[in-house]
Amino acid sequence: MTDRVLVLVRHGQSEWNLKNLFTGWRDVDLTEQGIKEARAAGVKLKAHGLTFDVAFTSALKRAQRTLDLMLAEMGQTKIPVIKDQALNERDYGDLSGLNKDDARKKWGEEQVHIWRRSYDVAPPGGESLKDTLARTLPYYVEHILPRVLRGERVLVAAHGNSLRALVMVLEKLTPETILKREIATGAPIIYRLNADSTVASQVDLAA
């Protein structure tokens, strides 16, 4: 039995998560809380007896640092790590760096809610969730999934919206149901896949 394991982890709390700012592609670091979350994720994965053959992460340091901290906790710092901006967070365009409350004052509660929670409406200069999916899914299909199906154990440390793209496919969610699927910071999701790439089992290690 080939052990086709894929683990997805959203980065730990970032400095801008804490400040309630739209982050997107801005390259901010983890908070002390985020560091604790990343280390705790590594502890949980180690407790599950998981080892990995390869890891993927985005081009942003909050995801990279989360991955480094997890691997350190697991004693697996020697595995190959592949970084690609295809796994970056959704680009919030003109909203990037703004406090979410200030954005509501500027554009109105309803408009900001549409930008944040609709599937295919992008903020000015940014990406919708649909745009993020169009960037992330081809990368998953070409670079990540084949390794899982070969029996490699793959760890992905990325972002709330880029991971939603993968979760949408794995959990067979619709454009409506994916919007309600929350992905907590530092909470690994362990998938075991069938040979046809569908999910055989799923374990959420939420705090």
Q: What is the pLDDT of residue 62?
A: 97
Does residue 155 belong to any structural domain of this protein? no
Is residue 143 part of the annotated active site? The answer reads no
pTM of the model: 0.95
Query: Is 59 contained in some domain?
Result: yes
Q: Do the domain assignments include residue 1?
A: no
> Is 82 in a helix, a strand, or coil?
strand
Asked, for residue 88, whether it belongs to a domain, the answer is: yes
Of 11, 37, 73, 159, which residue is the catalytic one?
Answer: 11
Mean pLDDT of 11-27: 93
Give the domain range for residue 65.
7-150+161-204
Residue 195 resides in a domain: yes
156 found inside a domain: no
Domain membership flag for residue 48: yes
Which residue of the set 37, 73, 89, 127 is catalytic?
Answer: 89
Q: What is the pLDDT of residue 206?
A: 78
Q: What is the pLDDT of residues 42-85, one digit of tens each?
A: 999 999 999 999 999 999 999 999 999 999 999 999 999 999 99
Q: What is the CATH number of the domain that holds 29?
A: 3.40.50.1240
Contact (Cβ atoms closer than 8 angstroms) between residue 129 and residue 161: yes
Number of structural domains (the chain) is 1
Residue 3 is predicted with a pLDDT of 86
Residues 135 and 124: their CA atoms lie apart, in Å, by 18
Taking the C-alpha atoms of residue 31 and residue 36, their distance in angstroms, rounded to an integer, is: 9
Tokens coding 127: 């990406």
* Residue 54 DSSP class: E
In a domain, 2, yes or no: no
Q: Is 152 a catalytic residue?
A: no
